[in-house]
Structure 1
Amino acid sequence: MPSLCCKSKGHDNFASSTATNQYAPNTVIEPVHLDISLKFGNLKEETMHGKVTLTFCHSGRALIGKDERSTVVLNAEQFEDLQVLGEGVTHTYDGHHIQLFWSTPFEQSSRREVTITYKVEEPIAGLYFQKADSMIGASPLWAITDHETEKARYWLPTVDFPAVRTTLTWAITAPEEYTSLANGSFVSQETKDGLTTTCWELKHLCPSYLICFAVGEFVSVDDGEVDGRPIKYFAAKGYEPADLKRAFDKTPAMMQWLQNKIGVSFPWPKYYQIALPAVGGAMENISLVTWCDTFIQDETNSLERKYLTDLVNIHEMGHTYFGDLLVIRHFEHAWLKESWASYIESCWLEDNVSVDHFRHEMLENAHSYFSECQRYMRPIVTRKYDSSWDLFDMHTYPGGAWRIHMLRKRLGDEAFWCGVNQYVKEFSGKTVQTTDFQTCLERASGLNLTRFFDEWVYSKGYPKIKAQYEYSKTDNRVKFVLTQTQVDEANNIPLFATDIEIEFTDDQNHVYTTRVTFDRDASVTTFINLNDKASPQSLRIDPDGKVLFSLELAADQDILINMAKNASDVVSRITAYTELIKKGSRPLLKTIREAIQIEPFYGVRVAAANELAKLNSTLSLQILAEMLDNEKDPMAMASIADACKIRDDLMRSAILRFLERPSLPYRAHGAALMALGYQRNPEDLEYLLRVAQDDGAIGQHGIVRSGALKALGYHRSQEAFNYLNNRVGSEIGLEPMRARPQGIRALQHSAEWQEDRLKKLAVESIAQSIRSPHPIVRMHAVGALASLKATSVCNAIASTRHMYPHDDHSWLNRQLKRLQDSSPVSEGLRADKDKIEKLEDRVKKLEEQLADWMKK
């Protein structure tokens, strides 16, 4: 699955009609070093006093006009008490930009210093202070930065774009009870009059979005060293060190593996990781990686969460080379860091877990990308966007990771990793763009990759392949016809030039292979002649997983059954189960029932469960209920329980049995509660309310409570609605950083099924959170109100624009457009939904009666 540092887009078009091409800034005069001095008092005051000395130099090899050599614009949002000092420099400040003017233009190689002093109070982004209600059961004080993509400007005067990189020195002064961390190597620490000044130094060039510091009351874990580089983990006081260590314990082994994989020594002087509530997902800041504290895990949480945490851990570490050591020139090249970090996740699985896990991860990546493509398609590299944040989507993360994987398979491992090694070495400490990566791979392999990059990187879409299988018993020959159906030149969706291998097995266990080459034609045919007296048995299309495509496979059911039972790779087995379940016949489902019980890989079972839920027939639900009863793997339990969100008596009985299990993992517990809420059975309401109010059943990070709240939203009863409305509308009772966002969404789901009077009450309750100091609460509230088509609060939401950083404005604009284009949900629409569900219930009952009749 994609890393959690990805931000969901939640819209149907990538760029608005007003989006324009965006470009990296000029760097004639640029800062090359920042000397940062910060002072904090009591962190409750949410105030920072800053003094930053910027060293500027002329970056060009030759001089250009005087104007370009006499001025620089710095990003600086909402600074107070601003003063600028420097020889021969004047400035203007409009609350967003500090424009510096020198009376004498810069000459080549000349350097000048400018010192800026200022105060920041309650910044809206970039620098986050602990809120009194940020954590469950603890309230330590802390402050931390989180910048991507353009948020450093809310506390630091800088050129806030990746093309500009500086070295750093730090002096952080704070009350002596606090710990201060920052990028780079520890230099010194001195305490005087109750204040401690901690100094750090980073000698590597660092873009603004990777600059990071943290101050506060922390617990820490020392995890030794790798090649002399200290490794430590930090979290807010109140967390158990054992839980912190459990989350990140593979870090040393990952560092050893990664530098061996890339062939370049780890460049940073230390590798610290810190987990705090204000961080969104995880962020790869140089030598000080930040995490959301929900990744900290106790033993129960670890059963479900450790796998993902390890992937995010190696993802962020992968940025050491792809994004930190090699910095993208501008945001259109974001895939050179995020796609690479995502692919490093899969490579870690391949080398350290299993090929099955690697193939399954790549399949999940493909599905995430395909799902987004149903809403919008864009080239992997594009300059046309509304906000730089918009580029951090499923095209960039899993979609781009697949492009890198295909390049690896096209070049072969030796040439590919040789090219990567040279790419990292050649551009170490520099900025990169897509052509740099292409050139290094071409140089290592001798291949011309222009067509690949034209089609896969600079065009939209991916191959959608329809595969037809035919067997002629007379000729004892198999015929395959593969067709790309996605071609749409008007929308820049090309025919993709690629080779796809086909592997076929007969009943004598002879294996035949052939290759289909797409070049200029959308449809390609190939034949396989079988040995005498041999019959078709099984097939695999792209058996080694070399190419990204979606597949519609028309094959005989016996072939599919053998694939499901015997294919050696998880992708072929998932493909077979998907096609078999779509057919939906009773004999096939009975075969699936037997086969799925002995399927060894959890991901195949989860995929089958999801397809059985989609089929939604009597027998498919019986099999799904049995799967829930039998599942023991924590990696699969939550997903299979989630698939059971179907209103059916059989499902309800299975879910209740599942909830009776002792010591359920948290996510499995929460998913089962939500599935129970879907049943809308009045008898379950008391139980769901009891779980939602049970402080002994919160689950680490509120996971179980969140599931109970969502379950009440799905229940649709007025009593559940009243409870949710009271909880969301109350000033106390729901932790803002944990359960409150889920409570808001639960209330939204419930309100959609209530009469207009109650829906208006829900809108009023949710609207109280649009000015929450917690960004995650604010954004959930706005999203819920947009889903409820609450046009009455459109102006109120618009008035909160000042609370959002500018790189989130495109998201807010989309929510406002949803509201402006909508009308309230009418009783008629709600009645239509009820009619559809009642019709589905009637169809299912008729199917059950028919099945009973056939048994007689």
Structure 2
Amino acid sequence: MKTPFKIIFLLYLFPVMVCAQNIDTKHLSLRLQFDWQQRQAFGSAEITGSVMSENDKIILDAGKLFIQSIEINSKKLKFHYDGGDTDNNLEIILDRKYKPAENFTIKINYRTLYENRTDPNAIGGSLGKGLRFLQPTSTTPNKRRQIWSSGEPQNNKYWFPCNEDIADIHTTEIKATIEKPLMLISNGSLVDIIEHPDNNTRTFHYRSEVPFPNYLISVVIGEYIDVIQKNNHTAIHNYGYPDEKEAVKATVELIPDMMRFLEEKTGYDYPLKNYIQVVVQDYPFPGSVGQNAASILSDNYIDDHGVHKDFKYLWDGVAMQALANQWFGSLIMPASWEDIWLNNAFAQYFSGLYTAKSNGKEEYLTYYHPFEKANILSDWNTGNKHPIVSTNIGDLAAFISDSYSKFRGALILRMLQKEMGDESWWKAIRDYVKNNSGKQVSTKDFQSAVEKTSGRSYQWFFEQWIYKTGLPKFEVIKKYDTSQKQLFITVKQVQNQENKTDFHQVSFFEGKIDVEIDNTIESLYLKPQAENIFTFPAKTLPKLVNFNYEETFLCETIFEKSTDEYFYQLQHSKDVLARQKALDKLTEAANDSHATTLFKDQVIDAIFTEIQSGQYWRYRWYALGSLQKIMPLTYKEKTISFLTSLIKKEKSWIKSTAINMLGNTNAPEHKNLYIQALNDESDRVVNAAAIALGKTKSPDAFEILMDLENRHSWKNQNRISALNGLQQLGDPRAIDYVLTRLEDNRSPRWYLATPVWDYPFAAVNTLVALGKGESGYPVLINRFKRSLQDNDLNDIFQNVQLINLLKDERAKEIYLLLKEKYKDDPYVLEAVSNYEKQFIENIKK
């Protein structure tokens, strides 16, 4: 419903409020309706609270709201607000002076003005601020009608006036009236639904009874079905799309087990009455998950059994983080933003712990750990250096979203577990959770639990890893003394001592670090000094010395070894990361221009052995990737036989990679193997087989690939496979089919703007490969112009990306249209400029 209004702001004498917030909020009650045409919410916010000290004014946060009126006990109040979104910018003059012991309730009637638009530079999903409205468009007629909120860290003020201070916890109540069949999902418990048959609407009423921070308030509106699970007495509500019910069931099957795992490890039952997961469009991976009792996840989380089987390690980790945040975030709440790592690190830690439990420790080591460490090193090497806990936070959004609070924090928790030992660690965790439940905590509270249960001081550890910055870099040298029968390991700390930050930096690090020496694991204690020398009795020179076993200690390491040592490490180390390191080093050596054919063959044979071993699949897949880096495309018969054997006996990722490698030979004699693989249960395998079949240029390939369109697969992966195969085949008969698929904007798909997952992008790449890119331009320019009329940034810039891929000179016109439409919008113009630069580079190629 469109409601005309006149914006009148009462301006304060000064443009920026300088007063600090001074309210202790007890309860927030929202009464809302939604204007889909204007993409706005309107209604009222009732805030019950008290002043922090005797006062006749309170200060709140508002993000570009239109404040219509404010009242207390039906009496209008004066207020000062300039309509902006700076901190502490809404001053309200109360009807009298209040003392801290007195509660009052004010009612603010308002309308939102800020629109949480898609980030044109992140078409696969973005968070933004406040409420995002989504609904069908001419470009994307199947887009679902939805509203969802994004509140972290201080962005809820864009859809209701509030106190954004993380320390101001309170209960909530939300009543929202929406059109049927839409439903509202929010924090707490669903109290009731009131039907309004006269106008086909209904009012949803949610209420939370346990106080929690303002940034965790969330709301989602859309058309959903509820897949309900149980864990003891806790109801788990999984809200997915009505046409994806079976896929929702497949996706969430492990949620009750995750909940039991967290209850067992923390010693504390799930802390709220129920748990909700709800999926939405245009939400990023992994997103800002873990809102109070109602976690929002990307709808890309939902997959059928086949896809989820291939990718559950990816999305189950996100679901686990969201669930863990109900303990670490809602049950135990950080008292300030500087302690947000107590949420994020524990969520990431338990996510890794659960994947180790459900899939094996090597899944954590080969998948989670490299990802965590890569993020940490990326921040450090690009100059983003700060402590995990800092009282000097510049950009809050950047502080909570970089690698420190989450990935670095999780690795530090694992190091602390190593320092303490498992028994003391879990005593500390259970003590921390039990004694701080329902409380706001600081890092000191966590440290206190650690020290109380262990009976030891860990001040050095928290100073080193939490309150200071730094990243150790070790140079390791081993030496064997034949006369004394001793092994000497020298560890030099060679990290740069120059500190270019405003924070205290650790000079030298200390702590436990493990070393694998032949068949034993030795635990060393590194002293905080430039050089440590460790001595071990050894009857003979050890063949294996693996420093920093399983890379538990966060550091960079320089440890020179011979290729013979790496061969031995590959074959005998118990540490999967050490074996992967050996693969990397041997592959690098085999690719060296000075490497002999004999040496290359030795490396290849060693890798063959690893791939065929009974070790964990992801490690063997890693080894197959190493083989791919070495092998020339003119494979020997031995290699062809080896790959054929893998294709026949392996599954999913290893099988698809083996098909890719064999397919690179373009040899038509393998076509029957590829045709058989097109019936595999894994879409990864089907896609690899389609590409390989296309490369054979077989006369039979065209009809076989075209037939993939008629096979069922989740979100048209069959179509993507067909397009990829036809792209390799190069048969011009495919052009009409490809154009028809490009014209189709109604079939199920992922909206990820990548040819791997999104069939329009695969279609454009295929047209270009067939030399008919220009034939796709009329389809896309027409769609682009309609998207400009709809003014949906996600549609507009998906079309821009597709048109760029065509490399068509005519596309210059879209940039003229974009610059004219958004000439007064610097945010969008910056994106337009970036895409135009890409276009200019593309047409040069």
CA separation of 1:445/1:186 partners in 2, compared to 1, >3 Å: closer, same or farther?
A: same
Q: Provide the residue aligned with 1:147 in structure 2.
A: 151
**In 2, Cα distance between equivalents of 1:169 and 1:758:** 55
Question: Residue 629 of structure 1: CA displacement?
Answer: 6.0
Q: Provide the residue aligned with 2:195 in structure 1.
A: 191
State TM-score, norm by structure 2: 0.76
Q: Provide the residue aligned with 2:243 in structure 1.
A: 238
Q: Provide the residue aligned with 2:613 in structure 1.
A: 598
Q: Provide the residue aligned with 1:164 in structure 2.
A: 168
Contact 1:786 1:818 in 2 (8 A): no
Contact 2:432 2:446 in 1 (8 A): yes
Contact 1:794 1:816 in 2 (8 A): no
Question: Residue 736 of structure 1: CA displacement?
Answer: 8.0
Three-state SS of the structure 1 residue aligned to 2:677 is: coil
Three-state SS of the structure 1 residue aligned to 2:426 is: helix
Contact 1:273 1:289 in 2 (8 A): yes
Three-state SS of the structure 2 residue aligned to 1:536 is: coil
**In 1, Cα distance between equivalents of 2:721 and 2:676:** 16
**In 2, Cα distance between equivalents of 1:451 and 1:155:** 44
Show CA shifts across 1:693-732 (max 9, x none). Answer: 965468423455567778999x899999999998999794
Show CA shifts across 1:472-505 (max 9, x none). Answer: 6666544434344432423457543233222212
Show CA shifts across 1:391-413 (max 9, x none). Answer: 42334332221011111111222
CA separation of 1:470/1:551 partners in 2, compared to 1, >3 Å: closer, same or farther?
A: same
Matched, 1:529 2:546: no
Contact 1:149 1:389 in 2 (8 A): no
Three-state SS of the structure 1 residue aligned to 2:574 is: coil
Q: Provide the residue aligned with 1:50 in structure 2.
A: 43
Contact 2:187 2:293 in 1 (8 A): yes
AA in 2 matched with 1:611 = S
Structure 2 counterpart of 1:636, from 650, 653, 678? 653
Question: Residue 692 of structure 1: CA displacement?
Answer: 9.7
Matched, 1:417 2:417: no
Structure 2 counterpart of 1:39, from 18, 26, 33? 33
**In 1, Cα distance between equivalents of 2:201 and 2:548:** 63
AA in 1 matched with 2:584 = T
Q: Tell which deviates more after alignment, 570-579 or 556-565.
A: 556-565
Question: Residue 557 of structure 1: CA displacement?
Answer: 3.7
Q: Provide the residue aligned with 1:115 in structure 2.
A: 107
Structure 1 counterpart of 2:417, from 394, 402, 408? 408
AA in 1 matched with 2:91 = L
Question: Residue 318 of structure 1: CA displacement?
Answer: 0.5
Show CA shifts across 1:495-536 (max 9, x none). Answer: 43233222212xxx6x47362624211x444343323xx563
Question: Residue 304 of structure 1: CA displacement?
Answer: 0.6
Unaligned runs of 5+ in 1: 1-23, 831-856
Aligned length in residues: 778
Structure 1 counterpart of 2:544, from 538, 545, 548? 538
The 5 Å alignment of 1:82-231 reads 82-86=68-72, 87=75, 89-97=77-85, 99-103=90-94, 104-120=96-112, 124=117, 126-132=130-136, 141-175=145-179, 177-193=181-197, 194-226=200-232, 228-231=233-236
Q: Tell which deviates more after alignment, 701-710 or 306-315.
A: 701-710
Contact 2:823 2:829 in 1 (8 A): no
Three-state SS of the structure 2 residue aligned to 1:528 is: strand
Matched, 1:314 2:320: yes
Matched, 1:668 2:668: no
Show CA shifts across 1:571-591 (max 9, x none). Answer: 232223222222213122222
Matched, 1:274 2:291: no
The 5 Å alignment of 1:791-830 reads 796=818, 825=841
Question: Residue 344 of structure 1: CA displacement?
Answer: 0.5
State TM-score, norm by structure 1: 0.75
Three-state SS of the structure 2 residue aligned to 1:188 is: strand
Q: Provide the residue aligned with 1:359 in structure 2.
A: 365
Contact 2:20 2:59 in 1 (8 A): no
CA separation of 1:801/1:560 partners in 2, compared to 1, >3 Å: closer, same or farther?
A: farther
**In 2, Cα distance between equivalents of 1:640 and 1:710:** 15
Contact 1:503 1:513 in 2 (8 A): yes
Q: Provide the residue aligned with 1:287 in structure 2.
A: 293
AA in 2 matched with 1:453 = F
Q: Provide the residue aligned with 2:499 in structure 1.
A: 490
Q: Provide the residue aligned with 1:463 in structure 2.
A: 472
**In 2, Cα distance between equivalents of 1:330 and 1:771:** 44
**In 2, Cα distance between equivalents of 1:813 and 1:615:** 45
Question: Residue 813 of structure 1: CA displacement?
Answer: 10
CA separation of 1:640/1:410 partners in 2, compared to 1, >3 Å: closer, same or farther?
A: farther
Show CA shifts across 1:363-408 (max 9, x none). Answer: 4432443355444442234545546056423343322210111111
Q: Provide the residue aligned with 2:513 in structure 1.
A: 500
CA separation of 1:750/1:243 partners in 2, compared to 1, >3 Å: closer, same or farther?
A: closer
Unaligned runs of 5+ in 2: 1-17, 118-128, 591-598
CA separation of 1:455/1:692 partners in 2, compared to 1, >3 Å: closer, same or farther?
A: farther
**In 1, Cα distance between equivalents of 2:203 and 2:60:** 30
**In 2, Cα distance between equivalents of 1:347 and 1:384:** 30
Contact 2:334 2:441 in 1 (8 A): yes
Q: Tell which deviates more after alignment, 157-166 or 616-625.
A: 616-625
**In 1, Cα distance between equivalents of 2:801 and 2:408:** 26
Contact 1:728 1:765 in 2 (8 A): no
